[in-house]
Amino acid sequence: MGSAGRLLAVQLLLLLVHPSAGFWIMNVVFPPNSRVKETSNNNTSPLIIVPGSLGNRLEAKIDKPALVHWMCFKKSDHWFPIWIDLNMFMPIGVDCWIDNIRLVYNKTTRRSSNSPGVQVRVPGFGETYTIEFLDYNNLAGYFHSMVEHLVNVGYVRNETVRGAPYDWRLAPNENSEYFIRLQELVEEMYNQYQKPVYLLGHSMGGHYVLYFLNNQPQAWKDTYIRGFISLGAPWGGAVKVLRVMTSGNNDGIPMLSNIKLREEQRMMTTNPWMLPSEDAWPKDHVFISTPSVNYTNQDYKRLFTDIDFENGWHMWEDTKNLTGALHPPGVEVWCMYGVGLPTPVTHIYDEDFPNADPVDYVYADGDDTVDSFSMSLCKRWEGQQEKPVHVTEYRGLAHLDMVFHEKVLHQIQQILEGKSDVPKEIDVRLD
Ligand SMILES: *[C@@H]1O[C@H](CO)[C@@H](O)[C@H](O)[C@H]1NC(C)=O
Ligand SMILES: *[C@@H]1O[C@H](CO)[C@@H](O)[C@H](O)[C@H]1NC(C)=O
Ligand SMILES: *[C@@H]1O[C@H](CO)[C@@H](O)[C@H](O)[C@H]1NC(C)=O
Ligand SMILES: *[C@@H]1O[C@H](CO)[C@@H](O)[C@H](O)[C@H]1NC(C)=O
Ligand SMILES: *[C@@H]1O[C@H](CO)[C@@H](O)[C@H](O)[C@H]1NC(C)=O
């Protein structure tokens, strides 16, 4: 594919990947004139950003024993991008891509490994480029707007604002080295700037931060951590994950079939980890409804059997306790999330279950991806820890827009500048 073709493919992806993608691409390709504050503040605490699932680049190097298709590459001399890899938008390329990025789960050792002959690495730990843009042409912007905003108020990329990318195919139980590196990064920044550090997590990144904090001694947190800013974290799990594992989800990209992507989506142990948790949801809430069975969170074993994905059950058993009990983080928390948008909480299938998309949905309030019940569970920490817990609901704000919206960026800036008090609700539809 020529570079013009690549450009087109990425733009197409951006336009279609998300209902609000028009807003997204405008921000990325034509960044709004950031409103630079008159006095740049050079006295703010350092910040580490932990992205959500699919939220940082991954690179691979291959020397494969076998190919799924003769057109796939067998061997690479260099590390090349597999996320985002534009081959995933080509008819045969998608098969090559899935065979490179997939994980193999061993239910005896309860461990995942890369596809045979494939090495995967996470570039850019401690820097920001890999979370600012997901592709090498800097078109698929993710944290770029936020980092740009912070730079305008005095932050310095790779110094006072850094990214902590990770292999988001794996849950924390298989990423133990990551947490050591994160701890070292916090200590390094603390020593360098003589100030405790803020951690910011988006979506599943919030669970990664919570797991990290739950496993640090209180004295360490009191010294090194100034606070935890959580954006749109599905604290009680995400109903959407059930749909993703059952029939796949291409997030609206028309070139990719849901069923095809399901192969890849079933390999990630992070998906079972994010299932609606047993503690949080009523035992009789139906998440998946078919003509013959209504599945609640008491029926996951049966569901995994019925969708022919038995390893998913083992992955869920391995991961459900990692953050499932929602132990308080033990640091000051700002929990922000979108509300006021219809969000599916039950997926209704016809006889073609599980090999076709749902035919209907039951909706509840949320941010169009995660329901607000799940995201609001951070409120329970208020009585469970000494440090303050601040909750802000953004009315009308969609899940992905959380990392772009001017009102969110402004609020984050205020927090970083030490203004802890935040409004309980902000309506993004009003100006
Ligand atoms: C602001 O902070 C950066 C990074 O620590 C430092 O290099 C720079 O000299 C500071 N600027 C001012 C005006 O203090
Ligand atoms: C899983 O791991 C065990 C123990 O290392 C090994 O004996 C077995 O062959 C592995 N299974 C697969 C399917 O690779
Ligand atoms: C941050 O690090 C990346 C990778 O080393 C580099 O490309 C980029 O220019 C750095 N940014 C700044 C502002 O130094
Ligand atoms: C599933 O639940 C719905 C709504 O409560 C009900 O109408 C339907 O009969 C149930 N289906 C089965 C198979 O139990
Ligand atoms: C998860 O927690 C439950 C209840 O506390 C316990 O029974 C179970 O053994 C735990 N599972 C794992 C894998 O630790």
Query: Is residue 111 domain-shared with residue 228, that is, in the same domain?
Result: no
Mean pLDDT of 93-116: 90
Q: What angle do CA 271, 79, 209 make, to 5 degrees?
A: 35
- List, for residues 18-44, the tens digit of each pLDDT value: 333 333 333 343 344 444 443 455 677
What distance in Å separates the CA atoms of residue 212 and residue 218, rounded to the nearest whole number? 12
Through-space distance between the first and last CA atoms of the chain, rounded to whole angstroms: 43
pLDDT given at position 256: 63
- Up-side HSE of residue 32: CA atoms within 13 Å toward CB? 14
How would residue 16 be classed by pLDDT, with cut points 50, 70 and 90? very low
- Up-side HSE of residue 413: CA atoms within 13 Å toward CB? 24
Q: Rounded to the nearest 5°, which phi and psi values hold at 7?
A: -60, -45
pLDDT given at position 263: 72
CA of 285 to the centre of ligand 3 (A): 48
pLDDT given at position 268: 79
What distance in Å separates the CA atoms of residue 411 and residue 26, rounded to the nearest whole number? 22
* Token pair in block for residue 183: 């701890």
Q: Is residue 393 part of a domain?
A: yes
Q: Which domain holds residue 160?
A: 31-54+125-427
Q: Is residue 21 part of a domain?
A: no
Q: Confirm whether 145 is a catalytic residue.
A: no
Q: Confirm whether 203 is a catalytic residue.
A: yes
Q: E strand or H helix at 362, and its extent?
A: strand 360-366
CA of 417 to the centre of ligand 3 (A): 24
What distance in Å separates the CA atoms of residue 187 and residue 220, rounded to the nearest whole number? 10
Q: Confirm whether 115 is a catalytic residue.
A: no
Q: How far is CA 374 from CA 194, 199, 377, in A?
A: 36, 21, 6
Contact residues of ligand 3, CB 6 A cut-off = 127, 129, 157-158
Query: Is residue 302 domain-shared with residue 391, that is, in the same domain?
Result: yes
Domain end call among 121, 152, 175: 121
Query: Is residue 42 domain-shared with residue 114, that is, in the same domain?
Result: no
pLDDT given at position 46: 96
pLDDT given at position 174: 96
Query: Is residue 295 domain-shared with residue 279, that is, in the same domain?
Result: yes
pLDDT given at position 427: 95
Q: Is residue 25 part of a domain?
A: no
Query: Is residue 337 domain-shared with residue 408, that is, in the same domain?
Result: yes
Is the separation of the CB atoms in 59 and 82 below 8 Å? yes
- In the predicted structure, residue 166 carries a pLDDT above the cut 80: yes
pLDDT given at position 244: 86
Our count of domains for the chain comes to 2
User: What is the number of the ligand closest to the CA of 296?
Assistant: 4
Query: Is residue 344 domain-shared with residue 243, that is, in the same domain?
Result: yes
- List, for residues 398-407, the tens digit of each pLDDT value: 988 899 999 9
**CATH number where 203 lies:** 3.40.50.1820
Contact residues of ligand 1, CB 6 A cut-off = 42, 156, 159-160
Ligand 5 pocket test target in 277, 321, 323 with most atoms within 8 Å of CB: 321
Q: Give the range among 40-49, 239-248, 326-335 with minimum mean pLDDT.
A: 40-49
Query: Is residue 69 domain-shared with residue 207, that is, in the same domain?
Result: no
- Where do we find the tokens 């306790």? 321
What distance in Å separates the CA atoms of residue 274 and residue 241, rounded to the nearest whole number? 7
How would residue 254 be classed by pLDDT, with cut points 50, 70 and 90? low
pLDDT given at position 350: 95
Is 62 strand, coil or helix?
strand
Is the separation of the CB atoms in 384 and 377 below 8 Å? no
Domain end call among 121, 151, 175: 121
Query: Is residue 341 domain-shared with residue 209, that is, in the same domain?
Result: yes
Q: Is residue 9 part of a domain?
A: no
Q: Decide whether any atom of ligand 2 lies within 6 Å of the 106 Cβ.
A: yes
Query: Is residue 37 domain-shared with residue 135, that is, in the same domain?
Result: yes
CA of 46 to the centre of ligand 1 (A): 12
Mean pLDDT of 305-333: 95
Q: Decide whether any atom of ligand 5 lies within 6 Å of the 325 Cβ.
A: no
pLDDT given at position 21: 35
Residue type, 335: C
CA of 182 to the centre of ligand 1 (A): 24
Query: Is residue 250 domain-shared with residue 236, that is, in the same domain?
Result: yes
> What's the mean pLDDT when you consider all of the chain?
87
The percentage of residues in the chain with a pLDDT greater than 90, rounded to a whole number, is 67
Query: Is residue 339 domain-shared with residue 403, that is, in the same domain?
Result: yes
Query: Is residue 217 domain-shared with residue 189, that is, in the same domain?
Result: yes
